[in-house]
Structure 1
Amino acid sequence: MNIVITGGSGFVGSYLCEKLVNDGHEIIVVDNLLTGSTENINHLMSNENFSFIEHDVQNHIEIENKVDYVLHFASAASPKAYTEHPVNT
């Protein structure tokens, strides 16, 4: 399956990416890196079933590939982030 994961470079999203790539799915991560980090997904970057797009999901994006599922993990998980970035969370 082709799966888009928003917030895939965050703590929870990155673990989900690893699991789904290892299960043979094609994963496209869309993340603005506001609270996530590419360090969480660097080990997946060389996998042909994984791709990363740095993009803010508040803005329109078109994914060229067929998409079977979109899993939304693009939300900061701390009250401090909610306060500092109320629109982005």
Structure 2
Amino acid sequence: MTFGIPIGGTVADPHVSWIRDVTPGTPEGCQECLQIGSPWVHLRLCLTCGHVGCCDSSPMRHARGHAGVVGHPIVQSFQPGEDWRWCFVDEAFV
């Protein structure tokens, strides 16, 4: 699977310019949850830097925290079989 490559169609979201061809930093799970021993529900991949964080349904919501602190707006689902992307700035699928 290639991460960060646009998934067909034209996207109006201006934050897609932040998308890069990234390598997941911690493909085995959420970076912060792995460090503190916290569970997660689903994983999200930052398409700017490759940070792997947990979703908003997870106790710690590290993907959203990363977006807020670092300012990287778009994540892609890091779940097998899913290929959707989400912009935290616009709160919309891209």
Q: TM-score, normalised by structure 2?
A: 0.27
Bigger share in helix: 1
Higher relative contact order (CA 8 A, sep 6+): 1
Bigger share in strand: 1
